[in-house]
Amino acid sequence: MRGATSAKWVVGAVIVAMAATACSSGDKDSGAGAKGGSFRLGITEPTAIDPFNSQESEGALVTHNLFTGLYSATVDGKLKPELAESVQTSDDGKTWTFKIKQGTKFTNGEPVDAEAFVRGWTRVVAKDSASDVAYPFAGIAGYKELNSGGATTFAGVTAPDASTLKVELSEADFEFDKKTVHQAFSPVPKVAGAASNKAYNDAPIGNGPFKMEGSWQHNKSITLVRNDDYGLQKAKLAKVEISILNSANGSTLEYQGFQSGQFDWARMPTPQLPVAKAKFSPKKQWIEADTSGVNYLVAFNQVAPLNNPDARKAISYAIDREAIAKGVFQGMQKPATSVLPPSFADTYVDGVCSSCVKQDKEKAKQFAEKGGLKPGTVLDFGYNTGAGHEEWVQAIAQQLKEVLGLDVKLNGKPFKEALAQQQDKGTGGLWRSAWGADYPTPDNFLYPLLDSGSINEDPATGKAAGDNRGRYNNPKFDELITKARGTKDPAARAAVYKEAEKLAIDDEQGLIPLWKRTQFRLAATDKFDNIQLDFFEDPNLAEISAK
Amino acid sequence: MIRRLGQMVVVLFGATVILFCCLFVLPGDPVGSLGGDKARDPAVVEALRERYGLNDPLPVQYGNFVKNLAQGDLGEDYTQRRPVTEVLQPKLVNTAELALAAIVLDIAIGLLAGLIAALFRYSFWDVLITLLTTMAVGFPSFVIGMVLQKVFVVQVKWFPLISDGTMKSLILPAFTLAILDAALVARLMRGTMLEVLRADYVKTAVAKGLPRRTVLVKHVMRNSIIPVVTYLGISFGSLLGGALITEAIFNWDGIGLALVQAVQQQNNPIIIGVVTFGVAVFVLLNLIVDLLYAVLDPRIRLA
C-alpha cells in the first residue's frame, strides 16, 4: 500500500496547491464608469502621503488632493489663494498675518481654523517627526528650538483667534507666502496626533477636494473619492484610482497600461518618447510642458581643476547642448540658458548664462588656457548609474575631450555612494544633477544651489550636507539673496534675484545649466476634459471632468 | 532531526553575520539621502541615525539585531519607517503564491512532458518536446515575460497589467517563472525514466505479468521521481528568490522586487529581513526534501 499512499500524497499536494492558488480567483467588478468618472493612473510607492513627510512628486500628488492649504500654485508659477482670504505683511517683512476662510471642515467634521494650521506646522517641525520637509519652515521664529527638541511649541506660529494665523519670521522674507504652497504647510485635524500616528499616516483625514477611500494599500493602491463637503470649488471626478507600480520599470508599466486602456494618464520610458509622440500626438493625447526645474552640472568650485570661473566657463562653452538635445534626447529636451525656469515669468532671463547659449570652441579654448585647463588635465565626471544618464554623460565627456583635450574620467556610482563622495571636501570635477521647484519662487533655486548657507559644512569633518554641492561661495551673492528676501516691492525684488543669478551663473559660472526640465505625459483626452500638468508635474485631478 | 535543526540555526547565524559585515563595508550613509537630488537636513540625518542605532559599533548593532530577531522583530525600514515584518509579510505571501503557482505548473508541465517523451521515445512527440525544452532553456525568462506581456496584456488585452488579486493576473507571471524549470524537469524526468525502464526490477515486474499501469506507477514513476523531487526542492527555493525579474516585469509585489529596491536605497533592514528569511526557507526546504526521500524510498533513512 505504500506506493499508493505516496502517489496519493503527490496528487494531493498538487490539488491542494492548485486550490490554494485558485482561492484568489473570481473576477471582481472594476467599478469603472461610476458617476462623475473614475480617473486611473499609476505612481511609484510614495515615501509618505501624510503632510508631515510627503516629499516627492508621487507623495505630493496624493497630499495635495487630500489637503488644501493657504495657497496653491498655478502651472505658470503664480500664487493662487485657497484658504487664505487676505494677508498682511509688516514693513520689515517679518510678520505675516493670514485671514483664514471660515466655515470649511475636515472630512471628519472638525473645523479648519487657524489652530489647525498651527497644529499641522508644529507637527512637521517637531524633532521626533524627523521630517524631510521641515526645511521650508526654517525661517520661522522658534524653528531651531522646536526642531532640536528644546521646545514643543512653535514660537513663531500663533492663532490669536479662529480666523487669524500669525507668523513671525526670524529674518525678513517677502516671499514667505509662496513657501506655503508646499504640502507640508497643510492644516491637520486634532485626530492626526503626532507624526508617528501610523493609522493617520496611512489614511490621512484632510480638507481637500478628495478624501481617502480606505487606507493606503502599500505597494498596491491608493483610492481617492470626491469630498462632497469640500468648502471650495468641488472636484468633478467621482474617484481617482491610483495603482502603485514598482520603481524599477514604473514608466514602462504606465506606458503599457495606457496603451492597453487601464490607465488614463501615463509617463513613458525616455527611449520610447519619439514613438509615443508620433502615435498619440495626432490623437491629442500627448501633453508636453516645460516645468519648473533645471538639469545642470555641479562644478566643484573649491578644488582644482575647476576652482576658478574661467575653467568652469571653458567647460560650459565646450558643451554643444543643442546637438545632445537633438541627438541623444531626440529633440525631447531643450537647452537651458539659465538656472531659473521659464515658468517663473517675473525673473526668467533667457540667455543669462552666456556660455550656455551656443557651443563656442574658440572661447572654450581661450577660457581653458586662462583657467589652467591644459589638454590632458584629468577631470572626474560623476553621475549616478541606473537612472538613464549614461548616454548623455558620455556625449558631454566626448565633447570635452574633443574641444579641450581633457582626460575625462567617467565615474558612475550608485546614488548613495555618490552622495558620500560629493560631500567630501576634496572632491573635484563635475557631477550631473537636477533640481525641481518645491514652491514658486526664484529663492527655491538660488538659495539651495548657490548660497554659502546651503553648503552646510560640518566644521569637524569638512563634509558638506547641503544642496550647494559645488560649494560655490561668494559673500556678495549671499548678500543679494538676503536683500531680495527683504525687498517688499515685487518688481524690485525680482530685479535683485536677477542680479544674483547673473553674478553666480554668468560672471562666475557657479554651476553649469544644461537642459530645461520638460515633461511628457499621455492623457485620455477622449474620456476626460481639462487634463493638464500642474506645477508639481502631476495631473490636475481636482479640475478634470469626465466627458 | 534535532541535529538538523541545530544546523539550521548555525547557517542562519552565519548568513546574518556575513550580511551585516557586507552592509557595514558598503560606502554611503543609509539615512543620508532621499535617493533624489536634494540633500537631507543634517538634523534629520542625525535624528534617524540615533533612532536606528547607526552610531553604535557593528557588534552592538548585530547584538541588537539578534535580540530583536529572537522576538520576531526585524526593525523598521529607513524610508517609510514601518516595521519590516509588516512591510514584508504581504510580499512574502505574494511571492509564495507566485512560486507555488509556478511549481504547480512546473510539475504539471514538466512531469507530463518528460513522461510522454520517455514512454514514446523517438516519436514525433519526443522530438517536439526535446525541441521545445531546448528552446525554453535557451531563452532568458525576462524575454519570455516581456513578450507574453506585450502580446497578451497590451495587444490582445486578455490579462490585466496590474495584479487585481484574481487568478487571471497570476497566470502570465507564473508561466514565465515556471517555463525554464518545467523544461529542466521534463528533461530530467525523461532521462531518469528511460534509465529506470531499462532496470532489472522493471523487467522482472513486467515478466511477473503485473498490469502495465501498476508497473508504471509503482515501479517506474516512483523511482524516477526522486531526482526530480530533489531538483524541485532546490528550484522552489530559487523561485522564491529568483522571481525578481519576473516580479519586476509584471509588477508583482513580492520580496524579489522589495530586495532590488532596498539594495538601491540601501534600506538595510529590508535587505537583512529578506535574506534572513530566504536562508531560512532554503534550509527548511532542504529538510523537507530529505524527509520526502524517506517517504518515496523506504531504503533511505534519515541519520
Q: What is the CA radius of gyration of chain A?
A: 26
* pLDDT category of residue B1 using cuts at 50, 70 and 90: low
Asked if A28 lies within 8 A of B166 by C-beta distance, the reply is yes
Degrees to nearest 5, angle at CA A147 with A143 and A151: 80
Q: For chain A, give the longest Cα–Cα distance.
A: 97
Q: Is the ipTM of this complex over 0.85?
A: no
Across the range A126-149, mean pLDDT stands at 92
Across the range B287-301, mean pLDDT stands at 75
Nearest CA in chain B to A466: B39
Facing residue for B28 by CB, picked from A21, A247, A419: A419
**What's the grid cell of residue A26?**
473570481
Nearest CA in chain A to B292: A6
Asked if A465 lies within 8 A of B261 by C-beta distance, the reply is no
Nearest CA in chain A to B32: A416
For A206-210, A263-267, A495-499, B118-122, which range has the lowest pLDDT when averaged over its residues? Answer: B118-122
B106/B182 Cα distance (integer angstroms) = 4
Asked if B34 lies within 8 A of A6 by C-beta distance, the reply is no
The 10s digit of each residue's pLDDT in A30-50 is 333 345 899 999 998 999 999
* pLDDT category of residue B248 using cuts at 50, 70 and 90: confident
Asked if B225 lies within 8 A of A10 by C-beta distance, the reply is yes
String of DSSP letters for chain B: -HHHHHHHHHHHHHHHHHHHHHHHHS-S-TTSB-SSSSBPPHHHHHHHHHHTTTTS-HHHHHHHHHHHHHTT---B-TTT--BHHHHHHHHHHHHHHHHHHHHHHHHHHHHHHHHHHHHTTTSHHHHHHHHHHHHHHHS-HHHHHHHHIIIIIIIS--S-SS--SSHHHHHHHHHHHHHHHHHHHHHHHHHHHHHHHTSHHHHHHHHTT--HHHIIIIIIIHHHHHHHHHHHHHHHHHHHHHTHHHHHHTT--SHHHHHHHHHHHT-HHHHHHHHHHHHHHHHHHHHHHHHHHHHH-TT----
Instruction: Reply yes or no on whether the pLDDT at A14 is more than 60.
Output: no
Asked if A21 lies within 8 A of B225 by C-beta distance, the reply is no
The 10s digit of each residue's pLDDT in A428-452 is 999 999 998 888 999 999 999 999 9
Chain A residues with beta carbon closer than 8 angstroms to that of B168:
25, 27
CA distances for B178 relative to A13, A361, A450, B127, B139, angstroms: 17, 57, 54, 21, 13
String of DSSP letters for B98-144: HHHHHHHHHHHHHHHHHHHHHHTTTSHHHHHHHHHHHHHHHS-HHHH
Instruction: Please enumerate in sequence order all residues whose Cβ is within 8 A of that of A380, keeping only pairs 6 or more positions apart, or say none.
Output: A409, A411, A427, A428, A429, A430
* pLDDT category of residue B240 using cuts at 50, 70 and 90: low
Asked if B161 lies within 8 A of A55 by C-beta distance, the reply is no
Chain A residues with beta carbon closer than 8 angstroms to that of B217:
3, 7
Facing residue for B27 by CB, picked from A256, A417, A434: A417
The 10s digit of each residue's pLDDT in A65-92 is 999 999 999 887 889 999 999 999 999 9
A interface test, pick of B26, B38, B250, B271 with most A CB neighbours within 10 Å? B38
| The pairing of beta strand A79-81 with beta strand A239-245 | unpaired
Contact A219, A244 (CB under 8 A): yes
Asked if B265 lies within 8 A of A253 by C-beta distance, the reply is no
Instruction: Reply yes or no on whether the pLDDT at A526 is more than 50.
Output: yes
* pLDDT category of residue A4 using cuts at 50, 70 and 90: very low
DSSP A524: -
Asked if A386 lies within 8 A of B264 by C-beta distance, the reply is yes
Facing residue for B28 by CB, picked from A147, A261, A416: A416
Asked if B162 lies within 8 A of A48 by C-beta distance, the reply is no
Facing residue for B162 by CB, picked from A20, A243, A247: A243
CA distances for A63 relative to A183, A200, A204, A387, angstroms: 7, 13, 9, 26
Asked if B296 lies within 8 A of A18 by C-beta distance, the reply is no
Chain B: closest CA distance from residue A218 (Å) = 8
A interface test, pick of B25, B26, B34, B41 with most A CB neighbours within 10 Å? B41
